[in-house]
Chains A and B, each alone.
Chain A
């Protein structure tokens, strides 16, 4: 049981390291063609809330914080929020305030509104 508990975090950590190595060595902004592309951007020309995360990850891994924010200004928010959420859910302390906040019905609505709002804003501002 204890081993099973650590299975998912281990997989996530390994995948994260592999992705970090890939995005450090290859620059998605230089094209190359084999980086995944955003379907919504391709089909509609609209930037989705996640657009630019690959380029931002490359910039961040090279210490270029300003560049990362330019590609996707929400990268820090998304990264910190998802990491916090993952830790809270994984800890599974159901009586704690953090767990109850993370699993509150309003949390998912807030997240959805934030992302759609960010999508609208960035398409208006063109950032």
Chain B
């Protein structure tokens, strides 16, 4: 999880995760720094955090309507590292690593190319459409046919029925459907072979 330091309203806080930043509330004029960045950047130039600006306003409004004390009570308690910066902007908090750069004086810092290439794009939210129903694994049929008919083919059926749930929980719904069908066919093959082999079995003496 990426950790961010944030400086807004003359107060520097961190390290904080994206979720903590969202809770804190990010103002458009804030500065942000994280490891890998050569210097502090205006929040608008850090895509991960910039995405919070709009949503923060919305969330703060909605939470204020529901439970106003939480927003204010939690913030100071959960942020013991809060250290106000000196007026000259040069005061560094004791717990900060020495590698952390000082807050720039001029607001407009061009985004370094190095940072732009280093930082991964923010993760896309999980796809919103609901997952399809899991196809039948046919495990019962596979075990039944394996026990009652012919062992080796039944094992194949069980393995394919295992692949159904494995693929499904991996999010590969298409493969799950395919494996479900495959395992069903192996069950049928097991049963058919078990039946048609019966007349020939008497040829073998034990």
A residues with a Cβ closer than 8 A to B are 36-37, 39-43, 45, 48-50, 53, 78, 82, 85-86, 89, 94, 102-105, 107-109, 111-112, 115, 119
Is B115 positioned at the interface, with any CB of A under 8 Å from its CB? no
Interface of B is mostly: helix
CB neighbours of B202 from chain A (8 A): 37
Within 8 Å of chain A (Cβ to Cβ): is B201?
yes
Determine which residue in A49, A104, A105, A107 has the highest number of CB atoms from chain B within 10 A of its CB, and name it.
A105
List of B residues within 8 angstroms of A104 by Cβ: 165
Contact A48 B151 (CB under 8 A): yes
Residues of B116-145 whose CB lies within 8 A of A: 133-134, 136-137, 139-140, 142-144
A-B contact pairs, 27 of them (CB 8 A): A36-B148, A36-B194, A39-B197, A41-B206, A42-B201, A43-B201, A43-B204, A48-B151, A49-B146, A49-B147, A49-B151, A50-B146, A50-B148, A78-B143, A78-B147, A82-B140, A82-B143, A82-B144, A85-B140, A86-B140, A89-B140, A103-B165, A105-B169, A107-B139, A108-B137, A111-B139, A112-B158
Chain A at the B interface: SS class: helix
Q: Could you mark each residue 161-199 of chain B with 1 if its beta carbon is under 8 Å from any beta carbon of chain A, else 0?
A: 110011001000000000000000000000000110110
**Contacts A105-B165, A112-B158; A40 near B151 (Cβ below 8 A):** yes
Instruction: Give the residues in chain B near A86, CB-CB below 8 Å.
Output: 140
> A37 contacts B201, CB within 8 Å?
yes
Q: Nearest chain A CB to B157's CB is how many angstroms away?
A: 10
Nearest chain B CB to A73's CB is how many angstroms away? 14
Please measure, in the bound complex, the distance between the C-alpha atom of A85 and the C-alpha atom of B146, giving whole angstroms. 16
B138 CB to closest chain A CB (Å) equals 9
| Complex Cα gap A70–B159 (Å) | 30
Residue numbers in A under 8 Å from B198 (CB-CB): 36-37
